């Protein structure tokens, strides 16, 4: 409990008057004794009122608070938290309210000032923005309750427990359902090449149309129907995609607010959404983490929710990536031929180990290496060079990028495609590559 500004102001005024009167008497000025008596009387009366007000404040119950918290939040996106507050006092009451937001969430509009009316409940809110993924618990709300006479304020800590989960930024994934798929992919920067040839999976028989190829004619059906009948094909479905996600120290780099690991998760989820819509199965295998996770490939829209619940609290570690061990585990678990998307940050420090692991994977699966490129490298390469220090930084950057490019060429020489993109553009780049392979029938 703390004294309010009103109480401190009155105490300051009465004490100042008492000091002035005492100083005048010390200087032998004629000061009526009744003034000193009145001043002391007022001071004692103020103290008595303050004591009575403090007792009444201690007996005053705290307002009832209920928090309305979304069950899930998207990383990096603002969301609103609502608070319902009501009290049983016969007179209006203005309180200050502060919600204890857990670490890892930034917030706006706290503390809040709420005017409560008798018999009514007030609803107020503030905004939170997750800075990291995982599980978060809200434990307490703190109210600053004024006394009936306004001479004191009492801080009440109330246990208002709620929990929420912070997922990767999947809002744009679900937002895509409101649009046509092609239009949505175009807005994301995805470009599809025109189909060259036909899909590989038979769809149906239909009448021959102008523009159809002669290779599409089903001669047996044509003989039975006595009219040209063509076979219609569609893009091959029922494929399997396995994300082989590096959770090691390579993925801890950060450009802007999100780490490369979070951008990699967003890219995997984006490609998963598109692949599931195409009828393919999606799975996940993580490595270089304290808690490796494996999710077998499954088809259907519900797999995206399973994937989200699997990775929402997954974080990068300080471990080095062991590509050989990760490859051994994946080959033991995944027997059916699949498209393995290795998401990592290619560097020249373990290029031989990476090449060996990719060669092993390529014997049984199709492999795509997705590498995140630090945006700061491109910025350093574009900066003007005027001093020796700037020249050293520029040469080091160019040498590093050349080493990365050489590793990419080695992978391409072994028939392994590489998608090299800045973190925020990795998702559209992966989707573009996937759709192009689907159209070309090379899945």
CATH number of the domain at 295, please: 3.40.50.410
Same domain, 377 and 409: yes
Last residue of some domain: 59, 85, 106? 59
Q: Pairing relation of β-strands 112-116 and 93-99?
A: antiparallel
Q: Which residues of 79-103 are buried (b: 16+ CB within 10 A; e: fewer)?
A: bebebebbbeeeeebebebbbeeee
Q: What's the rounded Cα separation, in Å, for the pair 136 and 161?
A: 11
Q: What's the rounded Cα separation, in Å, for the pair 252 and 401?
A: 19
Q: Is 12 exposed, middle or buried (0-12, 13-18, 19+ CB in 10 A)?
A: exposed
Per-residue model confidence (pLDDT) at position 328: 92
For 392, the token pair is 């050293």
Q: What's the rounded Cα separation, in Å, for the pair 372 and 374?
A: 7
Same domain, 207 and 141: no
Neighbours of 1 (CB within 10 A): 11
Same domain, 316 and 242: yes
Per-residue model confidence (pLDDT) at position 177: 42
Same domain, 358 and 268: yes
Report how many domains make up the chain: 4
Taking only the tens of pLDDT, the chain with its 443 residues reads 788 888 888 888 888 888 887 887 777 777 777 877 887 888 888 888 889 888 888 888 888 899 999 988 888 889 999 999 888 777 888 888 999 999 989 999 888 888 888 877 888 999 999 988 889 999 999 988 888 888 888 888 889 999 999 988 765 554 544 344 455 555 555 554 444 444 455 567 888 887 777 788 888 888 888 888 888 765 555 689 999 999 988 888 877 777 888 889 888 988 998 888 888 999 999 998 888 899 999 998 889 889 988 988 888 888 888 899 999 999 999 988 899 999 998 876 656 788 888 989 999 999 999 988 877 676 677 778 778 887 887 777 777 777 777 777 888 888 888 898 888 888 888 888 888 877 766 65
Same domain, 188 and 93: no
Same domain, 289 and 382: yes
Determine if the pTM surpasses 0.95: no
Same domain, 55 and 151: no
Same domain, 161 and 95: yes
Per-residue model confidence (pLDDT) at position 368: 93
Same domain, 31 and 94: no
Same domain, 107 and 251: no
DSSP assignment of 388-437? HHHHHHHHHHHHHHHHHHHHHHHHHHTT--EEEE-GGGHHHHHHHHHHHH
Q: What's the rounded Cα separation, in Å, for the pair 272 and 146?
A: 54
For 399, the token pair is 């040498």
Q: What's the rounded Cα separation, in Å, for the pair 165 and 168?
A: 10
- DSSP, collapsed to helix, strand or coil, labels residue 2 as strand
∠ CA 27-31-36, nearest 5°, is 110
Q: Are 229 and 206 in contact (CB under 8 A)?
A: yes
Same domain, 186 and 210: no
Cis peptide leading into residue 130 (ω within 30°): no
Domain membership of residue 129 as a residue range: 64-167
Q: What's the rounded Cα separation, in Å, for the pair 443 and 441?
A: 6
Same domain, 211 and 288: no
């Amino acid at each position: 409990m703390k004294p309010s500004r009103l109480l401190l102001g009155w105490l300051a005024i009465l004490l100042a008057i008492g000091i002035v009167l005492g100083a005048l008497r010390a200087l032998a000025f004629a000061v009526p004794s009744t003034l000193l008596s009145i001043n002391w009387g007022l001071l004692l009366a103020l103290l008595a009122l303050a004591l009575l007000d403090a007792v009444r404040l201690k007996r005053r119950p705290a307002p009832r608070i209920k928090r309305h918290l979304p069950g899930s939040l998207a990383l990096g996106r603002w969301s609103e938290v609502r608070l319902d507050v009501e009290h049983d006092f016969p007179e209006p009451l203005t309180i200050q309210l502060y919600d204890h937001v857990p670490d890892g969430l930034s917030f706006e509009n706290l503390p809040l000032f709420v005017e409560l009316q008798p018999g009514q409940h007030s609803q107020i809110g503030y905004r939170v923005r997750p800075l990291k993924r995982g599980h978060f618990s809200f434990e307490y709300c703190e109210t600053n309750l004024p006394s009936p006479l306004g001479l004191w304020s009492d801080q009440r800590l109330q246990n208002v427990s709620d929990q929420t989960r912070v997922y990767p930024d999947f809002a744009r994934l679900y937002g895509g359902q409101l649009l046509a798929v092609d239009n949505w992919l175009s807005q994301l920067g995805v470009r599809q090449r025109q189909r060259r040839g036909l899909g590989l999976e038979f769809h149906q028989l239909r009448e021959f149309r102008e523009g159809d190829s002669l290779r599409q004619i089903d001669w047996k059906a044509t003989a039975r129907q006595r009219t040209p009948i063509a076979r219609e094909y569609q893009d091959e479905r029922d494929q399997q995609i396995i994300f082989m996600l590096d959770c090691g120290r390579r993925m801890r780099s950060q450009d802007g607010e999100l780490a490369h690991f979070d951008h990699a998760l967003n890219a995997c989820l984006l490609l998963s959404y598109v692949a599931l819509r195409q009828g393919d199965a999606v799975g996940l295998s993580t490595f270089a983490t304290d808690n490796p996770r494996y999710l077998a490939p499954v088809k259907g829209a519900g797999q995206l929710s399973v994937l989200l619940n699997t990775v929402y609290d997954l974080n990068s570690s300080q471990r080095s990536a062991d590509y050989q061990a990760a490859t051994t585990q994946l080959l033991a678990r995944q027997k059916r031929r699949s498209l393995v998307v290795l998401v990592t940050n290619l560097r020249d420090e373990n290029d031989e180990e990476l090449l060996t692991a990719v060669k092993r994977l390529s014997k049984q699966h199709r492999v795509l290496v997705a590498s995140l490129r630090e945006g700061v490298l491109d910025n350093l390469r574009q900066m003007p060079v005027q001093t020796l220090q700037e020249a050293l930084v520029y040469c080091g950057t160019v040498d590093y990028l050349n080493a990365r490019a050489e590793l990419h060429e080695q992978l391409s020489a072994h028939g392994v495609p590489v998608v090299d993109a800045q973190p925020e553009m990795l998702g559209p780049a992966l989707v573009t590559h996937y759709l192009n392979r689907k159209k070309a029938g090379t899945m």
